[in-house]
Amino acid sequence: MECGNPLQSSSTIGMNPNLKPEKTSSIEAGFEAAFWDNRLCLDFTYYKTDSRNQILKLATTAASGYTSQVRNAGHIRNRGYEIVDFSEPADFYIINTCSVTHLGERKSRQLIRRANRLNDNAIIAVTGCYAQIASDEISKIEGVRVVIGTKQRDKIVDLVEKAAREDGLFNEVNDVMHMHEFEDIPLYGTPHRTRAFLKIQDGCCNFCSYCIIPYTRGPIRSRKLESIKTAVDQLVEENFHEIVFTGIHLGAYGRDFKGENISLSDAVEICLANENLKRLRLGSLESIEISPRLLELIKTHKRFTKHLHLPLQAGSDEILKAMNRHYTTEEFARLIENIRREVPDIAISTDIIVGFPGETDELFQKSLEFAKSMGFMKMHVFPYSKRAGTPAAKMTNQIDEAVKKQRVHLMQKMAEQSATEFYQRFLGRELEVLFEQEQDGYMEGLTSNYIRVYIKNDGAITSGDIRLVKLVKLFKDGILGELI
């Protein structure tokens, strides 16, 4: 299927910076990433030292949402920029934008303005989904010098440096609807963390009726298996203990390799073949794309985490159909039952949208009851957000914002209860925890099934250790444990 983009736009304006980056030196990375926990994906700044030993700073940040994940920024790192915290003034800013919801777009604009406030003489480059569909709007924000969408992001540093040498606005937003090659952007370095996000797939042609992503990302493209192997080896070499595979439509991995019969399971196997990798986790995945082979891999490989994020989106067949989702609640329930039969301790998290056009009180109640019956370990609840150009935006039976707000509240309340019940099941059990970091006197880490575990830190544990822990009581957003 070809994806046509009705939302393409472009424009140019001029600015006048006077920065000229030259030869580079050392690299250091700082990185803030949150996966399913919130929607701000990354936030880091790069410093570039020139041949006269002057430091040029390059900052990048992301207002990312939904399936949008952490960017690989190795192309920046490989040019010799030193990465530091975003909050400091920089000479260059790269802002990775999100267009999944109004909130994502607002956050994106705020980040651009923040960069301009930090240094109004800086070169600001804007990339990502929002840039892809609204380059005119973005070009008008003060300080913006480079706009690049979701294509050719490996060119961004060239463009930023060009903008430092030449006047004008560099608008490089191109049509993504005919892209068929995965952009193999080099990996970023993210020391101080144990978990790395590896994007192995881009694009989606599912066209869920509420979603803008197929228009901003184009068709399905997958990272080649050899490239995954190289990336995994490199990340393990750099001391990352856990790798998270991400993608816009992860379950569609390999579908673009015509006649090769390659699927996500092959990518998983090639990753697990590196025996020094402690854990592999999957990002968001469509429930109906879990193959028996993939389930078998989860079941049999200790290093393949027992956690799946399967977006439900609605708990009534009427709304699922209106959303153009390709399953019924009965099919979803059967899949979950099957997964739990094979892997009893597995954690299943989800996304759900409330207030979709046509969602009556009765249908919302159905959705609430169904989601409750699924016993999710975690739920991300979103109020439906109208995206111009999508079929759902044209539906006439839109829901009042106040009603959406109330439904979000009710769904979240149920989600909290569901999470607590999931955690309680594991109290008294002994599970392996991969420790990540210390905070406020506690070492914290994750179990294979995504339970956040805290232990009092007496110096016995360091980041990257895997230890057996007895789970004692509910604590913060997870469980307090004791070392065995």
Q: Report the interface residues with ligand SF4, using CB under 6 A.
A: 67, 204, 206-208, 211, 213-214, 248-249
For residue 351, the minimal CB distance to ligand SF4 (Å) is 9
Which one, 196 or 392, has the nearer CB to ligand SF4?
392
Which one, 206 or 234, has the nearer CB to ligand SF4?
206
For residues 196 and 292, give the distance between their C-alpha atoms in angstroms, rounded to a whole number.
Answer: 26
Kindly list the strands in the beta sheet with 378-383, ordered across the sheet, starting from the edge strand earlier in the chain. 307-309, 347-354, 378-383
Residue 383, burial from CB neighbour count under 10 angstroms (0-12, 13-18, 19+): buried
Which one, 171 or 390, has the nearer CB to ligand SF4?
390
- Beta-carbon count within 10 A of 473 CB: 11
Which one, 156 or 348, has the nearer CB to ligand SF4?
348
For residues 247 and 201, give the distance between their C-alpha atoms in angstroms, rounded to a whole number.
Answer: 4
For residue 244, the minimal CB distance to ligand SF4 (Å) is 17
Which one, 45 or 263, has the nearer CB to ligand SF4?
263
For residue 426, the minimal CB distance to ligand SF4 (Å) is 30
For residue 212, the minimal CB distance to ligand SF4 (Å) is 8
Which one, 315 or 445, has the nearer CB to ligand SF4?
315
For residue 236, the minimal CB distance to ligand SF4 (Å) is 29
Which residue from 101, 8, 136 is spatially nearest to 392, judged by alpha carbons? 101
For residues 312 and 350, give the distance between their C-alpha atoms in angstroms, rounded to a whole number.
Answer: 6
For residue 249, the minimal CB distance to ligand SF4 (Å) is 5
Distance set, CA 241 to CA 36, 83, 163, 186, 297 (Å): 19, 21, 38, 19, 19
Which one, 41 or 204, has the nearer CB to ligand SF4?
204
For residue 243, the minimal CB distance to ligand SF4 (Å) is 22
